[in-house]
Amino acid sequence: MTNDEIRALILRELRRIAPEIDADTIDPSVELREQADLDSMDILNWMIAIHEKTGVEIPEADYARMATLNDCVSYLSQRLK
**Footprint of another protein on this chain (CB under 8 A)?**
8, 11-12, 15-25, 37, 39-42, 44-45, 47-48, 51-52, 57-58, 60
Q: What is the 3-state secondary structure (H, E, C) of 25-78?
A: HCCCCCEHHHHCCCCHHHHHHHHHHHHHHHCCCCCHHHHHHHCEHHHHHHHHHH
Output the smallest distance, CB 78 to another protein, in A: 17
Q: How far is the CB of 77 from another protein (least distance, A)?
A: 18
Residue 2 and residue 8: Cα distance in Å, rounded? 10
Minimum distance from CB of 51 to another protein (Å)?
5
